[in-house]
Amino acid sequence: MTEAIQVTWSLEDNKERDIDGLNDPMEKHGIEKGLILMEDEKGTVNIGSKKVEMLPVRLWLSRK
């Protein structure tokens, strides 16, 4: 595995839960890069040495 992906509608109410839910498999499998796909939010969160990118799903799909 090279990347962990979490999908949620918004981080507005569950930011800590969704980031922790992504961090667990990242730690377990030694993954340094994570991705959270949402409806409209965009940003980056660092968890120690790990980087979690947050993107609207439409932007992520346009990269593929």
CA 28, CA 22: separation in Å to the nearest integer? 10
Position 28 scores a pLDDT of 92
pLDDT digit string, tens, across residues 41-58? 999 999 888 999 999 999
64, pLDDT greater than 70: no
| Helical residues (DSSP H) of 1-64, grouped into ranges | 15-29, 57-63
DSSP letter assigned to residue 14: T
Domain assignments of the chain as residue spans, ordered by start: 4-63
pLDDT in tens, 20-45: 889 889 999 999 999 999 999 999 99
Reduced to 3 states, what is the DSSP secondary structure of residue 47? strand
Q: Model's pTM, two decimal places?
A: 0.86
**φ/ψ of residue 5, rounded to 5:** -125, 135
